[in-house]
Structure 1
Amino acid sequence: MTQGTNFLGGRILVVAFEGWNDAGEAASGAVKTLQDVLDVVPIAEVDPELYFDFQFNRPTVTDDDGQRRLVWPSAITYGPVHPGDPSHALADDANLRVSGDNVGNIYLLLGTEPSRSWKSFTAEILDAALASDIGGIVFLGAMLADVPHTRPISIFASSENSAVRTELGIERSTYEGPVGILSAIAEGAEAVGIPTVTIWASVPHYVHNAPSPKAMLALIDKLEELVDVTIPRGGLVDEAAAWEAGIDALAADDEEMAAYIQQLEQARDTVDSPEASGEAIAQEFERYLRRRGDGRDGRDGQAGGRPDEPWRS
């Protein structure tokens, strides 16, 4: 990408993978929300036999109108029914309409992180992106971190592309350590001339077993800020409020958990105070990133989470 090129001026692929990059199902949940409200259809799909260990990512059986069938782990790219046309949306009801000049330029990639052959998988994904004339890729990810559920979800956007960083006013990540499939595809995309942005959400690690609609909302908010679309939230706002209230109720019955959350709140408020510099905030986020690369996980190796409860240790 050359200086002065408009990242938002072409077709944008929004990507999320279930698995290690998807704490609280926040990233995949955000893309599924887009899938529900955008008028998109499948345009490419990888062969599951090539990339997945079915003993690790097992197929599931569904019953749809009396027809039972297996659903295999995969990765599917979706494209707009009316490419480039902002006038079409999923519903005529304005409350359900996705708006903005980029509506007809939004493509989606949703899948399960592959078990093997990441280089071949990356090449296949990028071939599909190039065939669809994708001009930029936005990756969504979520990690488990030492953050309180009672505060706004921490979001960090970065890019390896200097022109994109200048255009969007975002930073370059300095993280070093283990990575997921997002990083492999991002490096490959930049190598073939497709600029990329990555958006990470921090999910409270002490609730790692439950989906986090609050983190989904935070990712959608940031995506909406960076990309020229207005995305309806549906029931996510109410679900996020219920999620937070549920954790409040659990903490009310556990003094140690409540005290631990209070410590996290104090730490977060210090970082968010006017006295805290932008550099300090970035360093705090990098600390979260390094922790997620410690090899410990909360469920099926997802997002570097932790199965332990720190307030009990």
Structure 2
Amino acid sequence: MDERYLKLDRRPDLERPVLVCAFTGWNDAAEAASVAVATLGSSWGAERIGRFESEEFFDFQATRPQIKLIDGITREIEWPENVLWATSRSVEAAGGRGAVFLSGPEPNLRWRTFSRTVVELARELGVEMVVTLGALLADVPHSRPIAVNANSQDPALIEGLGLSPSQYEGPTGITGVLHRMCADAGLPSVSFWASVPHYLPAVPSAPAALALLESFSELLGVEVEVGGLRKSAEEYQEQVSAAVARDPDLTSYVRMLEERYDAQGPGEPNIPSGDDLARELEDFLRNQRREDG
């Protein structure tokens, strides 16, 4: 493992570990994946063990560092970085399984090098499975259960766990590259994707984060403390429903999505492009205004 790319403070000794990854940005609609992995790490008492070298994987004009004031006087720079966390041997995750977490912004540069380094780290730590959590914008209503799709490129996992091979074709993120690298290395991997309403892209979705964790828990047969997240999900539903109810046009649009959802069921969501989503919403609202005179 090349230390130019990865700085480890220590190498944890874990039992049957799983590596869980979530990247903010393109792969993390409504922050569902990053909220889910943070909740999981907190539930299992994970502690920081290292980081990827920012200089190697980020374009700082695209993903800018942040200036922070300390005590209102000292200015400190926070650089974007992908951080590694791990459970301890004495506090293994439920079911006796250890876990390593990788979180941070989606890298801008050297995706193949980054993904190879992740796979090398997984091999060195004895990781049995790589799991990525992601969320995408889709034409689904907030008032219906969150659909989560579990995909894999590993034939044994597809057959043994009843997963689906991904049928997606088009632009991909770092998770797509990472899963391809895992498949080439013979490392089992699973990706979970939650569908969140495209008309709420900037509102952190606790329901989607909760749905991701429930799917993850069911697949691995482990327990996760989600009481706080469940309460946040209930508050999210109440607040969003109240906001939608105050906008007649948006109420009508959500009703149309509900009818479509109920007719086709919660299976594989329709994943149009961002332009298609914007065009559909604009067309709907334009037609509503015409009908209203």
Q: TM-score range by the shorter chain?
A: 0.7 to 0.9
Does structure 1 residue 312 correspond to structure 2 residue 277?
A: no
In structure 1, the residue matched to 2:233 is: 240
In structure 1, stretches of 5+ residues that fail to align are 1-8, 90-97, 274-280, 297-303
Q: The residue matched to 1:14 in structure 2 has which SS?
A: strand
Instruction: For residues 31-54 of structure 1, give each alpha carbon's deviation from its aligned partner in whole angstroms, at most 9, with x where no partner exists.
Output: 011122222222331111111111
| 1:23 and 1:305 in contact (8 A); partners too | no
In structure 2, the residue matched to 1:166 is: 159
In structure 2, the residue matched to 1:50 is: 56
In structure 1, the residue matched to 2:27 is: 21
| 1:143 and 1:305 in contact (8 A); partners too | no
Distance 1:10 1:165 in 2: 20
Distance 2:163 2:60 in 1: 38
**Structure-to-structure mapping, 1:1-313, within 5 angstroms:** 10-62=16-68, 69-82=76-89, 88=91, 99-102=94-97, 105-272=98-265, 281-282=267-268, 285=269, 287-288=270-271, 291=272, 294=273, 296=275, 309-310=281-282, 311-313=284-286
1:41 alignment partner AA: E
| Residues matched between the structures, number | 270
- 1:214 Cα shift? 0.7
| 2:22 and 2:33 in contact (8 A); partners too | yes
In structure 2, the CA distance between the partners of 1:112 and 1:308, relative to structure 1 (3 Å rule), is farther
In structure 1, the residue matched to 2:7 is: none
Instruction: For residues 246-297 of structure 1, give each alpha carbon's deviation from its aligned partner in whole angstroms, at most 9, with x where no partner exists.
Output: 1211221111111110111111112239xxxxxxx34xx2x32xx2xx365x
Q: The residue matched to 1:207 in structure 2 has which SS?
A: coil
In structure 2, the CA distance between the partners of 1:239 and 1:225, relative to structure 1 (3 Å rule), is same
Q: CA RMSD in A?
A: 2.3
1:142 alignment partner AA: A
Q: The residue matched to 1:156 in structure 2 has which SS?
A: strand
Instruction: For residues 106-139 of structure 1, give each alpha carbon's deviation from its aligned partner in whole angstroms, at most 9, with x where no partner exists.
Output: 2111121011111111122222222211111011
In structure 2, the CA distance between the partners of 1:307 and 1:49, relative to structure 1 (3 Å rule), is farther
Identical positions, percent? 35
In structure 2, the CA distance between the partners of 1:233 and 1:194, relative to structure 1 (3 Å rule), is same
Q: The residue matched to 1:189 in structure 2 has which SS?
A: helix
In structure 2, the CA distance between the partners of 1:113 and 1:142, relative to structure 1 (3 Å rule), is same
In structure 2, the CA distance between the partners of 1:16 and 1:266, relative to structure 1 (3 Å rule), is same
TM-score, normalised relative to structure 1: 0.80
Distance 1:33 1:176 in 2: 31
